[in-house]
Structure 1
C-alpha cells in the first residue's frame, strides 16, 4: 500500500519507564515525520477498550504539542477532543493516526465492523502517517504474535498494509522471543520483524526504510525460517 507507517515494539508516551524522559523520543520522531510544527494527531485506543487512563496519558503527552483528537469506538472520548463515530471521514484530515496497545484481535474485529480499515488505507494514501504501539503496531501487518487469547499465539489475520508478521515487546516480555522464533520457524506465521520496547520500524510504500530507538540497548530483528538477523537501530536524540 502507499503511505508511511511507524510500528513500535513498545515505548512512547504509554511506557515512560522505557525512555525515562518527559516526552518520548519516539513520539518526538513521529511528530517530526509529519513536517508540521503542530500536527493534527488522532489517537485510537480500541485495543484497550478505550481505557480512560490511556486517553489521559495521550492528552498529557500531546495536548501542548499537537491538535489532538480521540476516536473512541466505545464513545468514551472526552467531549472536547472527540472525533465522533458518525464523522469517521475526519480521519482523512489528520496528519497522524496513533493507535494504542491492548488486544490485537479485538481491535481488528471492531475496526472491521465500523469499516475503519478502508478509511485508514485511504488516509495513508493521502499523506496521513499511521503509527502504533504493540497491538497498534501488530494490526498493520499480515500477521502477528499476540497475547489477545491469553498465552502468546500466532494471529494470521492482520490488515495486510505491511508485509509479513510482527512481534512487539521482543525482549521486554518473557516468552515473546522464544515463541515468535518458533511460530515463524514452523510456518505458523510468515517471516517478519521483531522490535524491542523503545524501538520502531519506519515503512514507506511497503518498504522498510529505517529502524530507530529511544534507548541505547534497543534491538530489532528480521526473523525468518532460519532464525534472526539483527537490524541496525539508529539511536534517537530528543533534541534532533
Structure 2
C-alpha cells in the first residue's frame, strides 16, 4: 500500500455514511437538500464524481435527475464515458459542490492520484467548494478507512488525509462493519476515527466535526476511540433534518 498522504485542508466537507439520492427510491434526500443549503446559493454548481463505481452511467444519470432544476449539474468522468467524455479535472475549481459517489475506495484513490485530483480538490475546498461523498466518497477524505474494495472488509491506510483519523460508513447498515471497525481501532490497525450510519452524515469545517445530521430516525454518528485494550463509541447529537 502507498503511504498515507496527509494534507489537512480548510473548508467544508460532508461525509455521508449512506443515503442521499443513490439510496432513495425517488431521488429525494434531506441530506442532499442540506448539502445544497451549505453553499448559500440558489442554484449552485454541483459536480458528481463517480470514479469509485468505474463511472457507472446509470449512477451518474440518477444524480442528474435528482439534482435537475435546483443545481447546475456536471459529471467528471475520468474513464471518458459518453455522453460526458473527458473534461479537464481543473473544472472542479469552478464548482460549489463536488459530490463523490460510492464504490471502490482503493480504485478511486489510485485513479485520482494518476489524474492529479488530490491537489485540485485541496485547492477547491480552500477556495470555498464544499466536498461531499457517500461510502467510498466518505472514506477517501480520511487518512484511513474500512473498505470492501478487496472483497471482504479490510483496513485501508492510504487515504487522502484531508480529514484526520479513520472512517467507517454503513456502520450499522452492513454486516460486520461495526465489529470489524471496533476491532481495528482497538488494536491500532486503524487510527481513531468516525463511524457514520446509513442515512446520516457528519459535517466538518477546517477538519473539525461540527454537526451530525440524519434523514431517518435512529441513525447514529459516532467518534470511535481506543479504550485500553478495546474501543469505545462516543455518540454525536444527531439533528434530524427538516422534511426527513
TM over 0.5: yes
Q: Does 1:98 align with 2:96?
A: no
Q: Give the distance between the partners of 1:204 and 1:120, measured in 2 at CA.
A: 15
Q: CA deviation at 1:50?
A: 0.5
Q: Is the 8 A contact 2:27 2:62 kept in 1?
A: no
Q: Secondary structure at the match of 2:18?
A: coil
What is aligned with 1:6? 14
What is aligned with 1:154? 155
What is aligned with 2:119? 118
Q: CA deviation at 1:22?
A: 5.1
Q: Give the distance between the partners of 1:54 and 1:77, measured in 2 at CA.
A: 13
Correspondences of 1:10-159 after superposition (within 5 Å): 10-16=18-24, 23-79=28-84, 84-85=86-87, 87-159=88-160
Q: Kindly provide the CA deviation profile for residues 26-82 of structure 1, in whole angstroms up to 9, marking residues without a partner as x.
A: 000000000010000000000000111101110110122100010001011524xx6
Q: Kindly provide the CA deviation profile for residues 110-147 of structure 1, in whole angstroms up to 9, marking residues without a partner as x.
A: 00000000000000000000000000000000000000
Shift of the 69–155 alpha-carbon distance from structure 1 to 2, 3 Å rule, reads: same
Shift of the 22–151 alpha-carbon distance from structure 1 to 2, 3 Å rule, reads: closer
Q: Is the 8 A contact 1:70 1:77 kept in 2?
A: no
Q: Secondary structure at the match of 1:174?
A: coil
Q: Give the paired residue count.
A: 232
Q: CA RMSD in A?
A: 1.2
Q: Give the distance between the partners of 1:95 and 1:46, measured in 2 at CA.
A: 19
Q: Which runs of 5+ in 2 are unaligned?
A: 1-8
Q: Secondary structure at the match of 1:223?
A: strand
Q: Kindly provide the CA deviation profile for residues 140-176 of structure 1, in whole angstroms up to 9, marking residues without a partner as x.
A: 0000000001110000110000000000000000110
Runs of 4+ in 1 over 4 A off after TM superposition: none
